[in-house]
Amino acid sequence: MTRAPAPAAHRWPRLPGIGYGADYNPDQWPREVWDEDIALMREAGVNVVSLAIFSWARIQPTEDSWDFGWLDEIMDLLHAGGITVDLATATASPPPWLTAKHPEILPVTRTGETLSPGARQHWRPTSPVFREHALRLVDAMAKRYADHPALVAWHISNELGCHNLYDYSDDAARAFRAWLRGRYQSLDALNHAWGTAFWSQRYSDWEQILPPRLAASHPNPTQQLDFKRFSSDALKDYLRAERELLRGITPDIPITTNFMVMGETKGMNYADWAAEVDFVSNDHYILPSPQAQDELSFSANLTGNIAGGRPWFLMEHSTSAVNWQPVNRAKGAGELARDALLHVAHGADAVCYFQWRQSAAGAEKYHSGMVPHAGRDSEVFRSVTTLGQRLKDLAPLAGADRAPARAAILFDWESWWASEQDSHPTELLRYRAEALDWYSAFLALGVRADVVPTGTALAGYDLVVAPVLHVVPAPLAKELTDYVAGGGHLVTTYFSGIVDENDHAHLGGYPGPLRDLLGIRIEEFAPLLPGESVALDDGTTGTLWSDRIEITDEASVEVLASYRSGELAGRPALTRRTPATGNGSAAYVSTRLGHEQLPGVLARLLEAAGIEGELPAPARGKVELTVRAHQGHAYWFLINRTEEPVDLTGIDGELLTGETAPLPARGVAVLRRDLP
Ligand code: GLA
Ligand code: GLA
Per-residue pLDDT tens over the stretch 105-152: 999 999 999 999 999 999 999 999 999 999 999 999 999 999 999 999
pLDDT (tens digit per residue) in 380-422: 999 999 999 999 999 999 999 999 999 999 999 999 999 999 9
Q: Average pLDDT of 628-644?
A: 97
Q: How far is the CA of 547 from the centre of ligand 2 (A)?
A: 25
- Distance from CA of residue 580 to its chain's centroid? 38
pLDDT of residue 581: 86
Q: How far apart are CA 545 and CA 437, in angstroms?
A: 15
556, 577 contact by CB (below 8 A): yes
Pairing mode, strands 520-525 and 547-551: antiparallel
C-alpha 156/C-alpha 228 separation (Å) is 22
With cut-offs at 50, 70 and 90, classify the pLDDT of residue 6: low
Q: What is the pLDDT of residues 64-85, one digit of tens each?
A: 999 999 999 999 999 999 999 9
Task: Give the C-alpha separation, 565 to 69, whole Å.
Answer: 73
C-alpha of residue 192 to centroid of ligand 2, in Å: 22
Nearest CA to ligand 1 atom 3: 354
Closest by alpha carbon to 243, among 275, 267, 276? 276
- pLDDT at residue 658, as a whole number: 98
Whether the predicted pLDDT of 8 surpasses 60 = no
pLDDT score, position 514: 98
**Omega prior to 117 cis, within 30 of 0:** no
The torsion angle over the Cα atoms of residues 180, 181, 183 and 187, rounded to 10 degrees, is: 90
Q: Measured in angstroms, how far is the CA atom of residue 317 from the centroid of ligand 1?
A: 8
**Phi/psi of residue 562, nearest 5 degrees:** -120, 160
Q: 3-state DSSP call for residue 117?
A: coil
Comparing CA positions, the residue from 6, 79, 93, 76 lying closest to residue 48 is 79
What's CA 585's distance to the chain center, in Å?
A: 29
In the chain, the amino acid numbered 239 is L
Cα of 318 from ligand 1 centre, angstroms: 9
Which CATH code is given to the segment(s) 19-396?
3.20.20.80
Query: Cα–Cα distances in Å, from 442 out to 127, 451, 603, 623, 648?
Result: 45, 11, 9, 12, 20
CATH number of 407-609: 3.40.50.880
Q: What does the alpha-carbon distance between residue 550 and residue 515 come to, in Å, rounded to a whole number?
A: 10
List all residues 6 or more positions away from 451 whose beta carbon is below 8 Å from its beta carbon.
Answer: 298, 301, 302, 305, 408, 409, 411, 435, 439
Percent pLDDT > 70 in the chain is 99
pLDDT mean across residues, the chain: 97
DSSP SS3 for 33: helix
pTM of the model: 0.98
Q: For residue 5, what pLDDT band results from cuts at 50, 70 and 90?
A: low
Which is it for strands 255-256 and 258-259: parallel, antiparallel or unpaired?
unpaired
Instruction: Give the pLDDT mean for 161-178.
Output: 98
pLDDT at 356 exceeding the cut of 50: yes
What is the C-alpha end-to-end distance of the chain, expressed in Å? 40
Residue 580's pLDDT band, with cuts at 50, 70 and 90, is confident
Quick one: which atom of ligand 1 is closest to the CA of 283?
7
In testing the pocket of ligand 1, which one of 27, 120, 364, 368 has its CB within 8 Å of the most ligand atoms?
364
Burial of 537 (0-12, 13-18, 19+ CB in 10 A): middle
Q: 3-state class of 234 per DSSP? A: helix
* Section 508-521 average pLDDT: 98
- What's the per-residue H, E or C state across 363-420? CCCCCCCCECCCCCCCHHHHHHHHHHHHHHHCHHHCCCEECCCCEEEEECHHHHHHHC
Atom nearest to 316 CA in ligand 1 = 7
Cα 284 to ligand 1 centre (Å): 9
> Which residues, at least 6 apart from 73, have a Cβ–Cβ distance to it below 8 Å?
none
List Cα–Cα distances, 629 to 8, 334, 389, 654, 668, in angstroms: 21, 26, 22, 14, 18
Residues with Cβ within 8 Å of residue 576, at least 6 apart in sequence: 557, 558, 560, 585, 586, 587, 588, 605, 608
Q: How confident is the model at residue 2 (pLDDT cuts 50, 70, 90)?
A: very low
202-246 pLDDT, tens per residue? Answer: 999 999 999 999 999 999 999 999 999 999 999 999 999 999 999
Mutate to test the pocket of ligand 1, among 159, 160, 322 (most ligand atoms within 8 A of CB): 159
- Which residue among 260, 283, 318, 358 has the greatest number of ligand 1 atoms within 8 angstroms of its CB, and so is best to mutate? 283
Counting from 1 in the atom list of ligand 1, the atom nearest the Cα of 260 is: 7
Take atom 9 of ligand 1 and give the residue whose Cα is closest: 354
Q: Output the pLDDT for position 3.
A: 43
Q: How far apart are the C-alpha atoms of 542 and 523, rounded to whole Å?
A: 19
Rg (CA), the chain: 26
Cα 424 to middle of ligand 2, angstroms: 15
Beta bridge partners of 623: 620, 640
Domain definitions of the chain by residue range: 19-396, 407-609, 618-674
Helix residue ranges per DSSP H, 95-207: 96-101, 128-145, 170-184, 187-193
Which protein residues touch ligand 1 with a CB less than 6 Å away? 158-159, 283, 285, 316, 322, 354, 364, 367
pLDDT of residue 16: 94
* CA–CA gap between residue 447 and residue 621 (Å, rounded): 8
Evaluate whether 351 touches 20 at the Cβ level (below 8 Å). Answer: yes
Write out the catalytic residue numbers: 159, 316
Nearest CA to ligand 1 atom 5: 354
Say which ligand is closest to the CA of 315.
Answer: 1
SS (H, E, C) 567-621: CCCCCEEEEEECCCCCCCEEEEECCECHHHHHHHHHHHHHHHHCCCCCCCHHHEC
* Ligand 2 centre distance from Cα of residue 487 (Å): 47
Q: Which residues contact 32 (CB under 8 A, 6 or more apart)?
A: none
For residue 84, give the nearest of 29, 128, 47, 32 by alpha carbon: 47
The secondary structure of residue 663, as a DSSP letter, is B
Could you check whether 19-396 and 618-674 share the same CATH topology? no
pLDDT of residue 313: 98
Nearest ligand to the CA atom of 216: 2
Q: Exposed, middle or buried, 413 (CB in 10 Å: 0-12/13-18/19+)?
A: buried
- Beta carbons of 671 and 638 less than 8 angstroms apart: yes
Q: 543: alpha, beta or left, given left = phi > 0 and alpha = psi -120 to 50?
A: beta
- The reply to whether 220 sits in an annotated binding site is no
Please name the residue whose Cα sits nearest to atom 12 of ligand 1: 322
- Name the nearest CA neighbour of 153 among 53, 50, 72, 239: 50
pLDDT of residue 1: 34
Backbone angles phi, psi at 170, to 5 degrees: -65, -35
31-63: pLDDT as tens digits = 999 999 999 999 999 999 999 999 999 999 999
- Residue pair 122/106 in contact (Cβ under 8 Å)? The answer is yes
Nearest Cα residue to atom 11 of ligand 1: 354
* Closest ligand to residue 258's CA: 1
31, 226, 232, 323, 391 from 2: Cα distances, Å = 48, 12, 11, 35, 37
CATH topology for 618-674? Immunoglobulin-like (2.60.40)
**Cα atoms in the 13 Å half-sphere on the side-chain side of 319:** 30
CB distance 553 to 576 below 8 Å = no
| Cα–Cα distance list, 350 to 281, 306, 312, 479, 567 (Å) | 9, 16, 7, 35, 53
**329 annotated to a ligand binding site:** no
**Torsion angle, alpha carbons of 142, 148, 150, 155, to 10:** 0
Q: Which ligand is nearest to the CA of 160?
A: 1
Q: Is 120 assigned a ligand-binding role in the annotation?
A: yes
